[in-house]
Structure 1
Amino acid sequence: MRAGSIAGPAGEAGEPGAIACALEASRSIQLGSPGARGGPHAQTATTTAATRPRSACISDTAAECSSRRAAIERAAAVDASTSVTAGAPRRAERTRGCGLHSSLWQSSIDVNERHRGRARDEPPRRAQFRSAPTRRTRNGEARARSPSAVEPARGLFEHGEGSSEPSDRGCAICRTRRGGARTSPATAGVGSAEPSRRGRDEPRDRGYAICRTRRGRDEPSSRGCALRRTHDRAPRSMHLASWNRPADEREWRMAGALRRFLFERGGLVALVAFAAYVWIAPPHIVDGDNAEMATLGMIGGVAHPTGYPAYLLWLRATSWLPGSTPAHTAAIATAILAAVQLVVLHAACRAWGARPIAASAAVAIYAAGPVVMRYSSEAEVFALNQLVVAAIVYLAAAGGPLRGVWRVAALGLVAGLGIADHVTCVLAAPVGLVGAVRGVREARRGAVAAAAGVAALAAGLAPYAYLLVTPENAISWTPIAGLDGLVGQLHVAANLAGLAATLGRTWWWLPALAGVAMLAVRCVRAGEGEPRIGWQMLALAFVAAGPVLAARFDVVPVGLDGYAVRRFHLMPALLLAVPVAAALDVVVARYEARIRLGPATAIAALGFAAAALVAAPDVLRVRTPAVEHALRGMLRGLPPGAVAIISGDMTFFGTGYLQLAWGERPDATVVVWHLVGDRGYRDRLARRGIAIEKTTEATPSVGIAEHILASGRPLLVDRALGNVLKALPSYPYGTLFRVLPRGQARPSLDEVAAQNRDWFAALDLDYPRPGPDDEYPTAIHDSYAATWRIVADGFATAGRRDDAASAAAVARELAPRP
């Protein structure tokens, strides 16, 4: 209510007493207004002025003074009817907007009330606001705003009288926020609103507060003229005629939700990354574990310890995806997990205090790392493991999506699923325990929350029951055992250097250094959102999953050993995403007024695409079909009904993939030597006609080989079975050695060379020749060259130099590039 309208009917124009009492009433109402910032004292000031003794009034007559005092009391009563919730100070209606435009808050409310069919004397709902200068944080807790965010800018742009009521958006000069911070005096009138961190349900304004406003989670922002001030739910301003409601409000809301998912929730980066992962997904197997997962995901079975049932169930559930081969289908299913992982990681970065732009940039850099791209686009268990760790970081944050019992139960369920996928997720336990303790403290009954977490953990471990019912096949592993301990000589320095190289290359070095520095800073000095204990536990998880684990590896990370070790660098790289986003958020906060969310997110997606193009050659050089072509050639070159005893997982799982998923050479039997000692595996071989009994001989492999040869089946072995090659006659045949019964003569050198020429002529070598450090393709071509070196040595021993030179030339052509 305006102060100049309270004189009442008893006062007449030109009467000195009326003017004096009107000034007195105006003073009392001003003292009781929210702008006085008097809190509870404002109500006392109004009451005192209304009940002042008659001697204090300077009206001409006692009747006139009483009449004007009654008018003051009526004004105070009207003020009380429009106050905030119980216990809040009374407020007088006041001018909204700035002094230049003089738009009235009450006039806007009156128009809206008439539009809704309400009575004029009904207390307006829009007047109910928070009485205390508070704001909502990401975790839903109320915190006091800083004085700069509450105190009004006095002078020409004075508005709002300093209360916590949001001001009208009708003034293009003020550009105040309808639920956030006022414009600072330094930036008022120049189009840059002071940034303020808002609650989960109050997104920040991105630009001019009138044209580009965000009113709530489910309400798309207005993008029209500054004078229209449209609203998709309930009109708030006088300009109702200029607002055009869409024909289908549901479509409008869906469009707003899609925009938020793409630009504020990391959806655009995740979709671009998913397209890139599918593009580089190999249609062939690339190593032993990849072949095992692709096969078991198609036909079922038990994987090597610890079984990985959660990932196998996912592959089984997505086996309908339209891949060109079983390996390609499993790779696409893994790419889906990787894309979901990026969305969850984006949410985790925001829950730990980063703005959406900073989170998008951090996720884009992480997703384009060569190691990340590799294991996000082939059938491997690490994509699901990364998703589990990202979910733990998200759920455990103070600004996470759940509270109380639900937080504890969700953490328990995710932890159980993570253990059912890959046990290395337990290295993120410090962060998960912080979240569980928070959930127990938030719950009304802590014991119930703890019990719910334990029950959810047990439910998450339920996929292990799949290993008891899945059908057995030729490459199913033996009963599950624990992880083997890491023993032997440790190579601490080499592995720590390898970890640093992986993290630096994944995060392009400078963001990695900034992330480590920010992690150290947040452990000492907390920022907004997550308290110090959360950052300290995140740092502990990073150290445990990174340097501590890397220092325990007993191999030098070079070649195939480097391939095995680098997979375990994925978790520390993911945990580093949160502090990297926090470091980028410092830059975003500094230039927030100049940054638009949509273009910035699009730039992050384009940045991912550019970084992915840079990293793609490093991934594709080890993704050649060399492994699959070599194993297919080995199977096709076997004699009918042959038995091949090998020692490598790659050969065992790769041939199993071709036999079970492709139907290649079902008559041949491939035996992996290090499983022969297991009773269950020997029973499986017995069902296929190979009876192997346990023996106490010093060289059991020789006895088993003679038993197979006595059955009349051809026998081939690889280099690992040296005792067999020493005891029985043999000769090279492709990548294996053909073993002959005792006393049988070997074929001549010319026959051996001819058989190998035929074997290699049938081999598909239509792919780039691998380099010296291309992992399995390099190992495959080394084995090709080794066969022809043996032939060349045989010719040289026999004095046939020309034939030896010819065989040596073939070996050089097949060997990896120098």
Structure 2
Amino acid sequence: MMLSRKFSEPRRVTARGFSTISHVIAFGFDRVRNRDAATTRHWSFSLRLSPRVGWTVGCGTVLTLLMLWALPRHVQGGDAGEFSTVLLRGGVPHPSGYPLMRMLGPFARLLEWLGLNSATAAAFPPAAAGVAGWTGLATLLSRWFSGPAGAIAVLLAASSSLAVVHTFDCEVWGPQLLFAAIVLSEATRAPPQALRLGLVFGLATAHHLTAVFFAPLVMAAIWPPRAPRRADGMRLLGVGAGWVVGLMAFVTLAWGSEGAWRWGDLSTARGLLAHVLREDYGVFSLGLHHAQPSPWSLWARVVTSLSGSISAGRITSVVPGLLLIGVCCGLAPRARGVPPRVWWAVMVTFVALTFGFPAMHNVDPRTPFAAWILERFDLLPLFVLTIFTAGTIERLRRSRIHWQAPILGVGSALLLSVQLLRTHGRGAPRHEPGVEAYARDLLRTPDEPFAIVFGTDDHRTFPVLFAQEVLGLGRHVLYVDAQLLAHSWYRARLRRRFPAFPDVPKPLAAIGHLWSGASTRDTPIYLANVFSRPAESQLNRVPEGILWRVVPPHATAAAFGVDAVTRRHVAACARYRTNPAEFAGMRHPQTHPWSGDLWHAYRDGTKVLSDWYQRRGQGDAAKQLSEGDSACVAPPAARPRGTAP
């Protein structure tokens, strides 16, 4: 498509045709309502489709198709399993509670009732909100710059691997982008409506606390450009009042039934406040693990992530990335109709999101797991950076370079094509069935009637939660997150399911109490992963499928000898229906690091047993075990760098 000024002229023939159709429709309304012909003009309307609107509609259509292609068919790692469970079966997710995500639950349940796959039904509403957010930004950019500049900039950013992987899933990022677009729209309105601006800012903050970084933009929009007067004070008061009203969405966390999963004790005002302020993590902490990475490493990761997203992966180094971001911010002209102080506030917001917020992170970005966790927070700065990218495209579009229109058009098409190919090559949520496959197999491993499995990490805990509460699998298994065991509300939840579970905060102490109880001493106990050094050194364990069976102190040699352990291991593996090709992390370790870690659980147990037979001089038995037709002895593959064994 050629980017030329001829597209800015209205299509008069088309508009005249639409106008004629509108008058025919209006005449029909007039006949139905028995009005006289003089009132017909009140029903007539004009459908003059300007090219600017056409670019925005086209952008939204492409993003919708991209969303439908990328939507997951199985539950994903990270927080997606938790959010999917809450949307489909009710409850409250982890701090700060995300009340507006819970409100998407009825839409997800409706889609599931209509026959949509459970994981897809849960992911569709937040992903659609993400499409609406990007399309809303394209609408703003078409008003500020031009339709082509806005559409190209939005498509370039929204089709990046960063945006596709994290927006088109059951996560908070799609609605976050929608609220960001609404805040930008209200803040740049002339004049801004104080109460409405404060309300959407409060709702955005209630949805995700990172929205507080839009505070400079909100204040610049409402701050009087002259000496303050009484009316100006009322506007400031209106913004504050609206913000408080928006924050009242947090109160809804205490409403409703128990649901399938309810993080925290929200029955008291103190518990609700603790949940909102993230006391389980720490207000500025991103997880239960704490590290002190260098700010330079955090900033370098953000810069390379943003520059790679707007350059289709062509620029992924720190210095060139900084130059690219600086050029975009420097060349972009001030948006049409936006006051200078508001435009500078947009710049301040971008700097705060890109360099201020990452400096607070307590996650080391040098491992694939941590990098995946952190890159989700790049979506908001990427969203704001898209404004400056559109401005830069518009400046190039207005340049007097010979043949600039075809050059810019062909260049944009090539860049978008490379971006889409790169995103496809790195994998989308639809390419990752491995996390759910692992959760299903974990619940298939223990024999009935009852077993307890201890494990850690979101890519185990939440997919297992989804498999049990949504898919109805493995109800005979009590899965215990060893880290969450430190919280009294979590222990109370476990005791409601299994009253004999001890009320102690340490996993090894809980295992000891289970062994000492007359009714629980013979309960099979497993580890999904060796989650601590004490667990490594103090618990004897043997492989059983993808789990580790903990050997109790009163175990007999007949029950836990090599032959008995091998029989149980082979029987567990025979119950699996998993193909190693399902684990996208083996092909895309950066995009799907979680399944790369989980896949090795299928081979570790078999390797241990094979080594046992080798040490006993039974090489034939070891070879037979290693070459058997089982999901646990898949062909070897390279372990992704940074993946835990």
Q: 1:466 aligns with which of 241, 248, 252?
A: 252
In the other structure, the counterpart of 2:346 is 538
In the other structure, the counterpart of 1:384 is 175
| Amino acid across the alignment from 2:577 | D
C-alpha displacement of 1:758: 2.8
| Map 1:583-732 → 2, pairs under 5 A | 583-590=392-399, 608=416, 611-620=419-428, 623-640=431-448, 641-694=450-503, 700-707=509-516, 710-711=519-520, 712-718=522-528, 719-720=530-531, 723=534, 726-727=537-538, 729-732=540-543
C-alpha displacement of 1:379: 0.4
C-alpha displacement of 1:253: 7.4
In the other structure, the counterpart of 1:506 is 309
TM (norm. structure 2) is 0.80
* Matching of residue 425 in structure 1 with residue 211 in structure 2: yes
Q: What SS class does the counterpart of residue 256 from structure 1 fall into? A: coil
Q: Distance in 1 between matches of 2:553 and 2:489?
A: 30
Q: Distance in 1 between matches of 2:438 and 2:506?
A: 34
Q: 1:601 and 1:526, CA in 2 relative to 1: closer, same or farther beyond 3 A?
A: closer
Q: 2:242 aligns with which of 456, 477, 481?
A: 456
In the other structure, the counterpart of 2:36 is none
C-alpha displacement of 1:551: 3.8
C-alpha displacement of 1:345: 0.9
Contact map agreement 1:292 1:654 (CA 8 A) in 2: yes
In the other structure, the counterpart of 2:616 is 798
C-alpha displacement of 1:730: 3.2
Q: Distance in 1 between matches of 2:484 and 2:49?
A: 52
In the other structure, the counterpart of 1:771 is 587
| Map 1:59-74 → 2, pairs under 5 A | none
In the other structure, the counterpart of 1:348 is 140
Q: What SS class does the counterpart of residue 480 from structure 2 fall into? A: strand
Q: Distance in 1 between matches of 2:133 and 2:22?
A: 37
In the other structure, the counterpart of 1:142 is none
C-alpha displacement of 1:812: 7.1
C-alpha displacement of 1:306: 1.0
| Amino acid across the alignment from 1:636 | R
TM (norm. structure 1) is 0.64
| Map 1:725-740 → 2, pairs under 5 A | 726-727=537-538, 729-740=540-551
Contact map agreement 2:71 2:124 (CA 8 A) in 1: yes
Contact map agreement 1:645 1:673 (CA 8 A) in 2: yes
In the other structure, the counterpart of 1:315 is 105
Q: Distance in 1 between matches of 2:145 and 2:505?
A: 65
Q: Distance in 2 between matches of 1:330 and 1:571?
A: 22
| Amino acid across the alignment from 1:452 | G
* Matching of residue 248 in structure 1 with residue 36 in structure 2: no
Structure 1 residues 532-555: Cα deviation after superposition (integer angstroms, max 9, x where no partner): 433322222212211333344331
Larger Rg: 1
Q: 1:580 and 1:756, CA in 2 relative to 1: closer, same or farther beyond 3 A?
A: same
Structure 1 residues 410-443: Cα deviation after superposition (integer angstroms, max 9, x where no partner): 3212221122221112123222221232599999
C-alpha displacement of 1:276: 1.3
Structure 1 residues 614-673: Cα deviation after superposition (integer angstroms, max 9, x where no partner): 312212388421111111011122222212222222222111111111111223221222
| Map 1:485-496 → 2, pairs under 5 A | 485-486=284-285, 488-496=291-299
Q: What SS class does the counterpart of residue 461 from structure 1 fall into? A: helix
Q: 1:561 and 1:260, CA in 2 relative to 1: closer, same or farther beyond 3 A?
A: same
Contact map agreement 2:142 2:148 (CA 8 A) in 1: no
Q: 1:464 and 1:316, CA in 2 relative to 1: closer, same or farther beyond 3 A?
A: farther
In the other structure, the counterpart of 1:13 is none
| Amino acid across the alignment from 1:363 | V
| Map 1:730-769 → 2, pairs under 5 A | 730-745=541-556, 746-766=559-579, 767-768=581-582
Q: Distance in 1 between matches of 2:336 and 2:201?
A: 27
Q: 1:358 and 1:709, CA in 2 relative to 1: closer, same or farther beyond 3 A?
A: farther
Q: 1:697 and 1:593, CA in 2 relative to 1: closer, same or farther beyond 3 A?
A: closer
Q: Where do 5+ consecutive residues of structure 1 fail to align?
A: 1-192, 196-204, 214-220, 234-242
Q: Distance in 1 between matches of 2:504 and 2:16?
A: 86
| Map 1:76-87 → 2, pairs under 5 A | none
Contact map agreement 1:388 1:414 (CA 8 A) in 2: yes
Contact map agreement 1:368 1:615 (CA 8 A) in 2: yes
> Could you say which structure has the higher helix fraction?
2
Contact map agreement 1:631 1:651 (CA 8 A) in 2: yes
Stretch of structure 1 that moved more, 455-464 or 358-367: 455-464
In the other structure, the counterpart of 2:90 is 300
Q: 1:327 and 1:527, CA in 2 relative to 1: closer, same or farther beyond 3 A?
A: closer
Q: What SS class does the counterpart of residue 645 from structure 1 fall into? A: strand
Q: Distance in 2 between matches of 1:254 and 1:593?
A: 41
Q: Distance in 2 between matches of 1:527 and 1:415?
A: 21
* Matching of residue 519 in structure 1 with residue 329 in structure 2: yes
* Number of aligned positions between the proteins: 581
Q: Percent of counterpart pairs with the same letter?
A: 19
Q: Distance in 2 between matches of 1:622 and 1:348?
A: 30
Contact map agreement 1:346 1:360 (CA 8 A) in 2: yes
Q: Distance in 1 between matches of 2:434 and 2:338?
A: 48
C-alpha displacement of 1:689: 2.5
Structure 1 residues 452-479: Cα deviation after superposition (integer angstroms, max 9, x where no partner): 2223212222321221023224532123
In the other structure, the counterpart of 2:191 is 403
| Amino acid across the alignment from 1:546 | T
Contact map agreement 2:307 2:324 (CA 8 A) in 1: no
Structure 1 residues 671-692: Cα deviation after superposition (integer angstroms, max 9, x where no partner): 2222223222222222223344
| Amino acid across the alignment from 1:267 | V
Contact map agreement 1:772 1:816 (CA 8 A) in 2: no
* Matching of residue 332 in structure 1 with residue 124 in structure 2: yes
